[in-house]
Amino acid sequence: MSKYIGYIRVSTKHQNNSGLGQLAQKAMIKNFLKEDDILIKEYEEVESGKKDDRPELLKALEHCKRENAILLIGKLDRLSRNVGFIYLLKDSKVRFVCCDMPEATDVTIGIMAVLAQDERERTSQRTKAALAELRSKGVTLGNPSNLNNEARKLGTEALIRKAKDNPNNKMATALIIPLRENGMSFQKIADRLNENGFKTATGKQFSNAQVLILHDRYIKSQTESNTEDSIKSIQEL
């Protein structure tokens, strides 16, 4: 028998009003519990993923300490995209479990937070640059008629990039790269990922082919980034 304190978060007021976010997470928590487990209380709040000031979470952590209970989180992506928040959770010394990824640990969640924050910053920079480019061309932003073929193409590329940035893939990549650099084969890396509970974007086990794809995708992204930096350096000469 285990004692749990549930934590449910939705990131916008729209989700809070619709009830869909809460209902989905409540269902995940309910399905996770075994017959003899005890759910002492659930804490809910509406917060932005970029903020760390979550009073309801702090209450939940304190409640866990008093009851010697485990913090039960419905969805891993509801934790945070901010590294500082991860450290707050770790420093609390409260045990936690994520319903959609029970094998997650401080380390794996920390890796995801670092990668997610980095991607958020990159996305923000790309968005600002794109808007500045449109303004320089005299485009009036906010006008539906501006959604031309080029804009639609950019939207499609954004969807593709989102698929590539799936949290499961990013977390696995964070482990794949150092293991490969140490000379481990793709098959052995796949075995290591599966042994430690890592899942693909579709929730399946990894194969050596999938590990190869993630590895090559990362190497390609780094190469393209270095090439862009080199071109920029030459242009500035």
Tell me: the pLDDT tens digits for 71-91? Answer: 998 876 655 555 666 767 777
Amino acid at 180: R
- Are 172 and 193 in contact, with CB atoms under 8 Å apart? yes
Amino acid at 155: G
Q: Which helix (H) or strand (E) holds 5?
A: strand 3-10
| Distance separating alpha carbons of residues 235 and 122, to the nearest angstrom | 22
- Are 32 and 101 in contact, with CB atoms under 8 Å apart? no
Q: pLDDT tens digits, residue range 119-146?
A: 666 666 766 776 677 677 665 555 555 5
Top pLDDT among 50 and 9 is at: 9
SS3 of residue 74 by DSSP: coil
Name the band, by pLDDT with cuts 50, 70 and 90, for residue 3: very high
| Radius of gyration from C-alpha coordinates of the chain | 21
DSSP 165-225: T-HHHHHHHHHHHHHHHTT--HHHHHHHHHHTT---TTS----HHHHHHHHHHHHHHHHHH
Q: How many helices (H) and strands (E) does the chain have?
A: 9, 4
| Distance separating alpha carbons of residues 134 and 111, to the nearest angstrom | 35
Helix axes 83-91, 106-136, angle to 10 degrees: 160
Q: How far apart are the first and last CA of the chain?
A: 68
Name the band, by pLDDT with cuts 50, 70 and 90, for residue 167: confident
Which range, of 112-116, 165-169, 172-176, 215-219, averages the lowest pLDDT? 112-116
